Amino acid sequence: MKVKGQCSLTGKFSLWEKIYAQSSFIAMGVIGTIGIILEDWIWVIPYMAICWYGIPGIVMRHLICPRCPHLHEYGDCLQAPPTISKWLVKKRKTAPLSAFEKFLFYLIFILIPTYPIYWLMSNPILLSAFLLTASMWYLGQFFYFCRRCRVKECPFNRATMTRIK
């Protein structure tokens, strides 16, 4: 029996969900990177560390993906293909996030959409495209994926997991 608010996934993500999550995030990162390079290329180095290493190297490898039952129990992931996540995640973690891990998580997810805005302000088209893709990704995460998430330790988890009595 499925309780209201429980994860509606049966262990697998649809192709549409993977395309939406990945294309909106990659577009946001690419547009931010291009906007910074066009204005002052040296400032793209910290952004690349935050965006292009922070997600696969820190969030996926050490913070959220090692705690995700989709990856470990069902062999699926929002990352397409899931073998990338399986390759990055060396061992499963079950402990809650430490204070430092939560700090890193918030830092990465706050800096990715805010860091490039200064450099994008001089180009209204890139700024608009960046804000659109960032909004698509964050709204999709918070109002769709985070409401169905099974990673109980994730600070963004919005699922209301209730027990069946």
Specify the pLDDT at position 162: 40
Please give the distance of CA 142 from its chain centroid, rounded to a whole number: 10
Query: Is residue 25 one of the residues assigned to a domain?
Result: yes
Report the distance separating Cα 85 and Cα 74, nearest Å. Answer: 13
Query: Is residue 3 one of the residues assigned to a domain?
Result: no
Which range marks the domain in which residue 81 is found? Answer: 15-145
Cβ-Cβ contacts under 8 Å for 87 (sequence gap 6 or more)? none
Report the distance separating Cα 138 and Cα 59, nearest Å. Answer: 16
The total domain count for the chain is 1
Which spans in 15-95 are helix H?
Answer: 15-40, 44-48, 69-74, 82-88
Query: Is residue 63 one of the residues assigned to a domain?
Result: yes
C-beta separation of 103 from 109 below 8 A: no
Q: What sign has the CA pseudo-torsion 10, 12, 16, 20?
A: positive
C-beta separation of 108 from 24 below 8 A: no
Tell me: pLDDT of 129 over 90. yes
Query: Is residue 161 one of the residues assigned to a domain?
Result: no
Specify the pLDDT at position 153: 74
What percent of the chain has a predicted confidence (pLDDT) above 90? Answer: 37
Tell me: pLDDT of 9 over 60. no
Per-residue pLDDT tens digits for 33-65: 999 999 999 999 999 999 888 888 888 888 888
Query: Is residue 163 one of the residues assigned to a domain?
Result: no
